[in-house]
Amino acid sequence: MSVSEQVGPGYPRTPGLRDEPESTAQRVLLVWDAPNLDMGLGAILGGRPTAAYRPRFDALGRWLLGRTAEIGTATLTDLEPEATVFTNIAPGSADVVRPWVEALRNVGFAVFAKPKVDEDSDVDSDMLAHIELRRREGLAGVMVASADGQAFREPLEEIAATGIPVQVLGFREHASWAVTSDVIDFVDLEDIPGVFREPLPRIGLDTLPDEGAWLQPFRPLSALLVGRKTAAE
């Protein structure tokens, strides 16, 4: 079954996530921004995460089920949880990423995968389109796992203004816009039981050790050359 095919009840069939879904039940929606959170986790760890530091999506799924039950109890409504991971697939990485994608789908998460061909082929617009689609159908709650305030802050604040509960999941070091928001509830991923097997080695500017600490770049300097080339074209 390809990514463009149906991956669960109520999920769109097209890569753009714009087809009409089969289910019209109100949803509590979780959207996971894999590229952004991978970058944030790598910054905390100072490199690629090992198995001990990779998020456990089964624990995240149980948390979503609990959150859905809470909202349903508060609204006296039967709700349907839905979780989707959005990710880019770099050229030549399909075989490496495939076990992770299959594991997510086995847990109950949908996956939207998009080829990473240039700086403009990120998944921000796809996530926003999916959130908007579900909002039009009937959204009882939305959770976005990302630190990308530029992409998500305004749309999520607009949703929150309509009375729909909005939460941002992520790392407090990288999502100050959500941590300090008056209308968005922030949940640190490490505070969700079982999401990480081991405590993250977190060092922030307000918790520096006496001897100092190295803070790794979020991306390599070579990324500037890619952006420059794209602008020139």
- Mean pLDDT, residues 114-124: 87
Cβ neighbors of 153 (< 8 A, separation 6 or more) are 177, 178, 181
Higher pLDDT, 105 or 205: 105
Do 117 and 8 contact (CB within 8 A), yes or no?
no
Per residue, the 3-state secondary structure of 122-146, as one string, reads: CCHHHHHHHHHHHHHHHEEEEEEEC
Task: Give tens-digit pLDDT for 151-200.
Answer: 999 999 999 999 999 999 999 989 999 999 999 999 999 999 999 999 99
Q: What is the pLDDT of residues 171-182, one digit of tens each?
A: 998 999 999 999
What pLDDT score was predicted for residue 191?
96
Q: Where are the domains of the chain?
A: 27-232
Amino acid at 40: G
Q: How confident is the prediction for the chain on average, in pLDDT?
A: 86
Residue with tokens 């700086």: 119
What pLDDT was estimated at residue 14? 39
Tell me the pLDDT band of 13, cut-offs 50, 70 and 90.
Answer: very low
Q: Is 108 exposed, middle or buried (0-12, 13-18, 19+ CB in 10 A)?
A: middle
pLDDT tens for each residue of 18-56: 444 455 679 999 999 999 999 999 988 888 888 889 999
Cα distances from 175 to residues 11, 16, 37, 120, 214, in angstroms, run 29, 27, 11, 22, 20
Supply the pTM of this predicted model.
0.81
Q: Which region among 39-48, 55-64, 107-116, 211-220 has the lowest average model confidence (pLDDT)?
A: 211-220
pLDDT above 50: residue 7: no
Indicate if the pLDDT at residue 79 is higher than 90: yes
Q: Give the pLDDT mean for 46-72.
A: 93
The residue assigned the tokens 């979020």 is 218
| pLDDT confidence of residue 4 | 38
CATH class belonging to 27-232: alpha beta
| The predicted structure's pLDDT at residue 57 | 98
